[in-house]
Structure 1
Amino acid sequence: MKFSVRLAYYLGGLLLGTVFVVYFLQAKADARDVSFCYFPNCRVLQDLRSKSLEIAPKADSIFQKKWVNLDDVKKTMDYGDVDFSISNKPFEGGKIYFIEGKNTKGESITVTMVNYEKKVVLTDIKKD
C-alpha cells in the first residue's frame, strides 16, 4: 500500500474521530447541570454547596457581630481554598473542613464546616 493511501486513511480516521469527540463534548458542555470539577478543592466545595446548610449557634452569634455575613460564607464556599492538612477528618459523625476565604472587607477568614451525608453544618468562622 502506497504512503499516500495510508496517509489518506489516517487523515480520514483522524477527521472522523475529531468530529465525534467535538460532537460529544459539545453536547456535554451544553447541558446546564454539568460542571467540570476534577481537582480535590473544587470537588469538596461542590459537595458542600450541593447540600442544605445549617448554622450552629456559635456561628450564628458570630453573624450578630456584623463583621461577616452569610454572603461571605457562600462566596468562600464558591472561591475558597480547603486546607487539606487539617481537614477531611472524622468529626461527630461527619467530616470537618476548614475553608480559607475573604469577607467583603477583604479580611481573611476561615470557615469551619462539618459535612454530613445529607447536610452541612457551619460551626465556626474566624478572622485570620
Structure 2
Amino acid sequence: MAFLKRLGFFLVGLSIGIVFLTFFFKKKTEETGTSFCYFPNCRVLKDLRSKPIAYSEDINELLASNKLDTLDIETFFRDGDIDFGKSNAKAVPCRTYVIEGAIKEKKAILEVKNCPSKVLVERITQF
C-alpha cells in the first residue's frame, strides 16, 4: 500500500476519533461538572471547597456586623490565588494557606487552616 494511501486512512481515522472524543468529553463535563484541576492552586482550592467551613471569632464578628458576607469568602475559594510562599503547606495536622482575592473591588488576603475534617477561616485583611 502506498504511503499516501496509508496517510489518508490514518487522517480519516484520526479525525473521526477527535470528533468522537470532543462530543464525549463535552457531554461528560456538562453532566458531572468535571474540570481540569491538576495545578497546585486549583487542587488546594477544590479541597477547601469540599469541606465544611468554620469561622474564627474575628470573622464571625464581621459576618454579624454585615461588613462581610459568606459569599465573599466563597469567592476566595473559587477565584482566589494561593500564595504558597507565605503559606505553610507542611504543617500538621492543619495546613495554613494565604489566599489573595478581592472583596467588592478591593484587594484582600484570607488566611485559612485546612484541617482533615474542616476548613477554619482565621483572618481577613483588606487593602
Q: Which amino acid aligns with 2:121?
A: L
Any idea what the Cα deviations from partners look like across 1:93-124, whole Å, max 9, x if unmatched? 210011111112x2221111101112101111
| % identity of equivalent residues | 34
What is the CA-CA distance between 1:26 and the residue it aligns to?
Answer: 2.9
Task: Report what 1:80 is aligned to.
Answer: 80
Calculate the aligned-residue CA RMSD, in Å: 2.2
Unpaired stretches in structure 2, ≥5 consecutive residues: none
Task: Report what 1:30 is aligned to.
Answer: 30
Instruction: Report the TM-score when normalising by structure 2.
Output: 0.82
State the distance in 1 between where 2:19 and 2:7 align: 18
Q: Where in structure 1 do 4 or more consecutive aligned residues deviate above 4 Å?
A: none
State the distance in 1 between where 2:7 and 2:92 align: 63
Any idea what the Cα deviations from partners look like across 1:17-50, whole Å, max 9, x if unmatched? 3244234323422322312223222221111111
What is the CA-CA distance between 1:92 and the residue it aligns to?
Answer: 5.9
Task: Report what 1:50 is aligned to.
Answer: 50
Query: Which is worse superposed, 12-21 or 94-103?
Result: 12-21
Instruction: Report the TM-score when normalising by structure 1.
Output: 0.81
State the distance in 2 between where 1:47 and 1:11 align: 41
Is the 8 Å Cα contact of residues 93 and 116 (structure 2) preserved in structure 1?
no
| Distance change >3 Å, CA 14–CA 92, structure 1 → 2 | closer
Task: Report what 1:125 is aligned to.
Answer: 124
Count of aligned positions:
127
State the distance in 2 between where 1:77 and 1:4 align: 53
What is the CA-CA distance between 1:53 and the residue it aligns to?
Answer: 0.3
Task: Report what 2:99 is aligned to.
Answer: 99
Is the 8 Å Cα contact of residues 62 and 125 (structure 1) preserved in structure 2?
no
SS at match of 2:36: coil
